[in-house]
Amino acid sequence: MKVLNFGSLNIDHVYNVDHLVQPGETIASDSLEVFLGGKGFNQSIALARAGCKVFHAGMIGKDGEQLIQVLNNEGVDTENIRVSDSKTGQAIIQVDKLGQNSIIIYGGANQDVKKEFIDHVLENFSEGDIILLQNEISNIDYIMEEAKKKDMHIMFNPSPIDENISLLPLKNVTWFILNELEGMSITGEKDNAKVAWSMLKMFPNAKIILTLGNRGALYVDKDESHSFGVYDIEIKDTTGAGDTFAGFFLASVIEGNSIPISLQRASVASALAISEKGASDSIPTKEKVELHNLILK
């Protein structure tokens, strides 16, 4: 079984501010830091550091070669990353003194994912393989349709959420991993306590992993449900926490662990991630997660 992450590759510009800027307001930033990121990049790093062999497919601009170098250094297969004439995707991230963030995404080369390129990538994958998707590249609908034809298992993180989500062939998704706001947008549910169950009602054959911020995470499918709380840890930067959770959860499941153990490992990993600055830079290794597992209990 192979794991393909067909996902975004960005360069993140992180501004540390006293508070998130309000409409019409101009504020000064205490610092500017530049990191490599994108939800696809972050999740591939998380998968690799969790011990999973992952193949990454995506697009960068000529200014994004460092993204390939870093992925290679982490052991990620980058043979299916191509260079576009567009600039590499960009993210403008504000991080306030409490560690909360606000993000603006510029798609750039991530929006140059064409059907011909998708066909070429998927030639090397087959029935039973897993494909991980986010909502930061073009032609997600086509990828889902073609992956389903091959009987691949689709894990979808519908972030960033937009009005086009409902147009995707979501019935093809095997695993949804999303937060409450994303779940509310898909289901139309107003009560966040009912989001996971509404998702399951809409997609009865899917497995739903719902992250709940400071209330932990919830897993439901047609046969079982599990929840897991959060760890009391100092927050420095929440950027990339969800990507860390997704990567470690999927890697743990692939390893053959139960859902409760996988939720626990993902929760420890995301707790460690928010205790450091940066998105991909803050993602812990499998060894660090195992070391801190007992400490954080």
pLDDT range class, residue 293, cuts 50, 70, 90: low
pLDDT(296) > 70: no
pLDDT(237) > 80: no
pLDDT(245) > 60: yes
Residues comprising the binding site?
10-12, 38-42, 136, 179, 211-216, 237, 239, 242-243, 273, 276, 278, 282
Instruction: Give yes or no for a contact between 139 and 118, defined as CB atoms under 8 angstroms apart.
Output: yes
Residues comprising the binding site for ATP?
179, 211-216, 242-243
pLDDT at residue 107, rounded to an integer? 95
pLDDT at residue 282, rounded to an integer? 84
pLDDT range class, residue 269, cuts 50, 70, 90: very high
pLDDT(210) > 60: yes
Q: How far apart, in whole angstroms, are the C-alpha atoms of residue 170 and residue 63?
A: 33
Min mean pLDDT across 52-66, 129-143, 153-167, 233-247 is at 233-247
The CATH number of the structural domain formed by 39-88+113-296 is 3.40.1190.20
Three-state DSSP string of 213-278? HHHCEEEECCCCEEEECCCCCCCCCCCCHHHHHHHHHHHHHHHCCCHHHHHHHHHHHHHHHHCCCC
CA 67 distance to own-chain centroid: 16
Q: Which residues of 236-259 are buried (b: 16+ CB within 10 A; e: fewer)?
A: bbbbbbbbbbbbbbbbbbbeeeeb
Domain map (residue ranges) of the chain: 39-88+113-296
Instruction: Give yes or no for a contact between 53 and 289, defined as CB atoms under 8 angstroms apart.
Output: no
pLDDT range class, residue 99, cuts 50, 70, 90: confident
pLDDT(96) > 70: yes
pLDDT at residue 279, rounded to an integer? 63
Quick one: what percent of the chain has pLDDT higher than 90? 80
DSSP state letter for 134: E
Mean pLDDT score of the chain: 93
pLDDT at residue 54, rounded to an integer? 98
Residues comprising the binding site for substrate?
10-12, 38-42, 136, 243
pLDDT at residue 278, rounded to an integer? 65
Average pLDDT of the residues in 78-104: 93
pLDDT at residue 294, rounded to an integer? 53
- Residues tagged active-site: 243
DSSP state letter for 195: H
Tens of pLDDT, residues 20-66: 999 999 999 999 999 899 999 999 999 999 999 999 999 999 999 99
Tens of pLDDT, residues 1-24: 999 999 999 998 999 999 999 999
